[in-house]
Amino acid sequence: MAKVTRVELTSINTPRHNSITCGHILVQLHTDDDSLVGVGEMSDLQHLPRFHFDVPELEATLGEILVGLDALQLTEVERRLEANFPQAGYIYDKSRAIKCGVDIAFWDLAAKQLGVRVCDLLGGAVRDSVPIAYPIFRQQHEEDVERNLAMVERRLTEGFEFFRVYVGRRPDLDERFLRTARERFGDRITIKSLDFSNLLDAKAACNFAERVADVGFDLVEAPAPNHDVRGLVYARNRLPVPISEHVYGFRWALDLVAADAVDVFNVSVIAIGGITPARRIFAIAEAAGKSCLVGTTQELSVGTAAAAHVAMAMAPVTVPSDPVGPLLYTRDVVAEPVRYTGGRLHVPSGPGLGMRFDPELVKASAGPLTWAATSAAAVVDRQEVTR
């Protein structure tokens, strides 16, 4: 049985097309078998508030915690990670990113040792691909409307039909985009969701959703402030479409079920801290009769591959999902990126995640984590704000 001998972390920065530059940390678990290395990713750290890790210190700490563990000791890995980086009950908790990168790498390592895909280790694929909803970021300036409409047209030609529209910063421009998109593209597009990202109170979110209801959308996501269960219940009772919310902790999942506050769990591997804790959220959802979608923080190909394996193996994933990060960045760090065809994400072939870092691509992106190429508003809205 291969044992971990060293944890290696590499910080990288990858620009998005016409947008911000995002920091990530690549994880490699080296073992006493030179042919076995587990790979993981702490993704899109610009999604956090303005703090970054001390990468050398974190690498040393993870080495102390993990060196000597067997590749298949996934339960012990989770126990140690949770003991040292506990869930904070906060969607932007940096402990989740740390745990996610390590947990993914252990699943990759374990599956490689057994010669199977991660989705097989999770119980086997129940589907061969998942439909993806392409993100349309918030309208913040007049010119954003036409720019986003052009993006819809481009992605339609590539086979995408589902779109997730971020709203709530400039409702006037959001409404203009939605109405123009429906007029221009008709039933060629399906608006999977209006994603309020907890920016508005429940009444304001519902008011907007009702005002644009004739445009047509499948669900409403995060239509209340963070952790506002009563607001979610209000929105679910008032709106005729399903309500979705991000699930970033075990307690939060149970609170949502107890209040019957949502119809759909948005389960992101990074938001919950890895594949291992994500399985528990899917189990809670299935027991409660809730549908699920696989969420994203816009990962590179390693993180997206982890999301793909989870999406293939979890039965409650019945709603078009969100991982589309590799299409947003100008470069990746793997030899063969994840594959999208006809607007669907496919699971990479194994073993493990089916991903291999390309040393030259990693070198091209390597560098200290920095906030120099982003802004406070971009942390929330995921695109640069220009004046």
Q: Which residues are catalytic?
A: 92, 166
Measured distance between the N- and C-terminal CA atoms of the chain, rounded to whole angstroms: 57
Lookup: tokens for 379: 């942390």
Residues 6+ apart with CB under 8 A from 285: 247, 253, 265, 267, 291, 292, 316
Q: Which residue has the tokens 């993870």?
A: 62
β-bridge pairing 340-341 and 344-346? antiparallel
- Counting DSSP H helices and E strands in the chain, the numbers are 14, 13
Burial 207-217 (b: 16+ CB within 10 A, else e): ebbeebeebeb
DSSP for 214-225 reads GG--SEEE--SS
Helix (H) or strand (E) run with residue 190 in it: strand 190-195
Residue pair 291/316 in contact by the 8 Å Cβ criterion = yes
Positive or negative, the CA dihedral 245, 311, 135, 248 is: positive
